[in-house]
Amino acid sequence: MKRKNNIRALASDSEALARAYHVSKSSSKDSFFGFFRALGKNKSACFGAVILLIFFLTAVFGPFLIDADDMRSDMANKLLGPSAEHILGTDHMGRDTLKMIVYGAREVLTVAAITAVMTLVIATVMGMLAAFTKGVVNWLLNILIDVIMTVPSLPVMMLLSMIVKANNYFTFAFVLSVWSWAGLAKAIRAQILSVMTRDYISAARILGLPTRHIIFNELLPGITSYLTMNMIFTMRNSISSAVSLMFLGMADFSATHWGMMIQIAVSKTAAIYGSSALWYFLSPIAAIAIFGMGCFFFSHGLDEVLNPRLRTE
C-alpha cells in the first residue's frame, strides 16, 4: 500500500512538473512573439529597418536593373561632376558612380552577411562550449578567448590577407571573421548562463529531456533576438574592416566594391586633394555611412526592446 502511494505521489509530481514546464514554455513563446510586436512599435528600430531593407533590396535587384554596357569604360566622360545624366558623376574610367554603387551593393552585403554568419557560428559554438564545459577545458577556452580579445584584429587580418588571397566572397569573409568572434563568444556565454537559470530550462532538465532538445529547442530560441542584434553589428563592423584592408591595399576585390572604389579614388585620382574625383571618393563613403546609420538605429531599437530599463511607456 505504501509503495502504491509513493508511485501515485511521484506520478502526481511528474504531471505537475510537466504542466509547469509547458506553462513556462508557452510564456517564453509569448514573450518571444511579444518581442517582435514591441519591435514593430519602436520608431528607431523601424527607421533602421527601412534603411537596411532598401540596401538589401538594392543588393538583390539592383544588378538586374543595370545594363552591362553601362559598366564599360568611357574615357571621354571620366571624372565628371554630378549632372542629370550622372547623378553622382563618373569614375576615373567614365563609369557612372551611382550605378557602380548599386552594382557593388550585392558584393558588399554578401561579404558582410557571410562574415556575420561565420562569426556568429564560431562565437555561438565557442560561447556554448565555454558555458557548458568545466575544469581545465573551460579554463583553456576562456584563456583563448581573452588572448584573441587582447590582440588587435586589424594587424591579424592584414597578416591573414597576405597568407590567404582574399579575392572571393568566402576567403574574404574568412579573413574578416577568423579573429572577430572572441568578444561575441564571451557575451553569448553570459547570455547562455543567464537563460540556463530560467524555470523552463530547469523543468526540462528535471523531466529528463535530451541535451540536444534543451540546446536547440529551449536554449537557442531564448537568445535568438540577442544573436540577431549582434549579427547586424557584425555586418556593420565587417564592412568597416573590409574597407580598411582594401584602403591599405591588402585585399584585391572587384572595382565595384565600395572599399575598392575608395582605394582607387585615393590612389589613382588624387581625390583627397580636392580634384574633380571628389564625388567619386565621397559617394561610397556616404553609402557606407548610411548603411551604418541604419544598423545603428535598428540595433538601438533592439536594445530598447531587449533592455527593460530603456523601455518607455
**C-alpha–C-alpha distance, residues 152 and 172, integer Å:** 18
**C-alpha–C-alpha distance, residues 133 and 139, integer Å:** 9
* pLDDT value for 52: 92
- Per residue of the chain (313 residues), give pLDDT as tens: 443 344 344 344 555 555 545 544 544 444 555 666 767 778 888 899 899 999 999 999 988 887 766 677 777 778 777 888 888 888 888 888 888 899 889 989 999 999 999 999 999 999 988 888 888 888 999 899 988 988 888 888 888 888 887 778 888 899 899 888 988 999 898 888 888 777 777 777 777 777 777 777 778 777 877 888 888 889 999 998 888 888 887 877 778 888 888 888 887 776 666 666 788 888 899 999 999 999 989 888 877 776 655 554 4
The reported pTM is: 0.80
CB 52 within 8 A of CB 113: no
Q: What is the DSSP secondary-structure string of 134-203?
A: -HHHHHHHHHHHHHHHHS-HHHHHHHHHHHS---SHHHHHHHHHTTS-HHHHHHHHHHHHHHTTSHHHHH
* pLDDT value for 208: 76
CB-count exposure of residue 146 (10 Å: 0-12, 13-18, 19+): exposed
Bridge partner list, 90: 96
Q: Domains in the chain, please, with CATH? A: 13-310 (1.10.3720.10)
Cα-based distances in Å from 187 to 66, 120, 217, 230: 42, 11, 20, 10
Nearest residue to 284 via CA among 112, 62, 98, 85: 98
* pLDDT value for 288: 93
* pLDDT value for 121: 92
